């Protein structure tokens, strides 16, 4: 990949990462409930989700999702259901500031946080269709494809890790100022509502005809 091409993609990847979406909501939710240091683990799951989406596009499954109405609908509604479920769980979460505990009082494992974030990105056909539309513009078919996909994957990971660090830190700072259980409960319901809203918007998303 030529430097000029990469710089253009690098600029585009910042716009992709900064634009609000389920990933940003997940990062802020993690910062709210777990603080920055533990909540940032969520970002690694989001990056794995991006890489999974890129792999889907790279092996051609993205084309199937974008052209097959059945495949697209199945993946879309899986994503909708998952986001709404996350929203309901966040809405009902106990008002516990700066904790990394589950509802049973057990420590939420890093693996669980990563898996939750991975699911948010991987069951999102909108992301697949978006990458399918953007990535080919930066691919040179006369050059080795694997190296180009690795560069694209690394670039997306870098920008997402930086941007989501900002979202997580912002939420954790807000959390530090919240003292009353009623305040924590209100924030949980705000983020829960945002997850449901993200699911509703995904439900309205349609393939370009």
Residue 138 maps to a domain: yes
Q: Check residues 80 and 129 and name the one with the higher pLDDT.
A: 80
To the nearest whole number, what is the mean pLDDT of the chain? 76
Between CA 150 and CA 191 the distance in angstroms is 33
3-state DSSP assignment of residue 153: helix
| Residue 128 structure tokens | 């697949």
pLDDT of residue 105: 41
3-state DSSP assignment of residue 8: helix
3-state DSSP assignment of residue 71: helix
pLDDT of residue 176: 63
Residue 1 maps to a domain: no
Residue 67 maps to a domain: yes
Does residue 5 have a pLDDT over 60? yes
Within the chain, residue ranges assigned H as helices are: 3-18, 22-39, 41-58, 61-67, 69-91, 110-122, 125-134, 145-176, 181-204
| Residue 73 structure tokens | 């609908």
**Residue 158's pLDDT band (cuts 50, 70, 90):** very high
* Number of independent structural domains in the chain: 1
Residue 5 maps to a domain: no
Q: Check residues 183 and 190 and name the one with the higher pLDDT.
A: 190
List the single range of 23-27, 109-113, 161-165, 175-179 with lowest mean pLDDT: 175-179
Taking the model in full, what pTM does it have?
0.68
Per-residue pLDDT tens for 90-111? 777 666 554 444 444 445 678 8
Q: Which domain holds residue 29?
A: 23-106+114-203
Closest CA to 53 of 120, 122, 119, 110: 122
Residue 12 maps to a domain: no
Residue 56 maps to a domain: yes
**Residue 114, CB-side half-sphere exposure with 13 Å CA sphere:** 8
Q: Give residue 95's region: left, alpha or beta (phi > 0; psi -120 to 50).
A: beta
Percent of the chain topping pLDDT 90: 10
On whether the CB atoms of residues 198 and 83 are closer than 8 A, the answer is yes
Per-residue pLDDT tens for 12-55? 788 777 766 778 878 888 887 788 888 889 999 999 998 998 88
pLDDT of residue 45: 92
pLDDT of residue 161: 92
Residue 180 maps to a domain: yes
Between CA 188 and CA 33 the distance in angstroms is 8
Mean pLDDT within 178-186? 69
Residue 9 maps to a domain: no
């Amino acid at each position: 990949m030529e430097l000029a091409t990469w710089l253009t993609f690098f600029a585009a990847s910042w716009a992709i990462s900064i634009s609000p979406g389920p990933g940003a909501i997940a990062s802020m939710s993690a910062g709210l409930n777990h603080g920055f240091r533990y909540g940032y683990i969520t970002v690694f799951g989001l990056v794995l989700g991006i890489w999974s989406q890129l792999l889907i596009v790279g092996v051609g499954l993205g084309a199937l999702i974008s052209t097959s109405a059945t495949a697209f609908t199945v993946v879309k509604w899986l994503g909708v259901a998952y986001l709404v479920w996350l929203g309901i769980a966040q809405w009902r979460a106990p008002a516990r500031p700066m904790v990394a505990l589950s509802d049973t009082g057990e420590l939420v494992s890093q693996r669980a946080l990563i898996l939750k974030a991975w699911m948010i990105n991987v069951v999102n056909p909108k992301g697949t269709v978006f990458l399918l539309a953007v990535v080919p513009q930066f691919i040179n078919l006369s050059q080795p494809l694997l190296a180009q996909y690795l560069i694209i994957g690394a670039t997306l990971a870098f920008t997402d890790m930086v941007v989501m660090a900002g979202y997580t830190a912002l939420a954790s700072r807000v959390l530090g100022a919240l003292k009353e259980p009623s305040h924590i409960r209100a924030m949980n319901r705000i983020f829960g509502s945002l997850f449901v809203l993200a699911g509703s918007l995904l439900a309205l998303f349609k393939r370009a005809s």
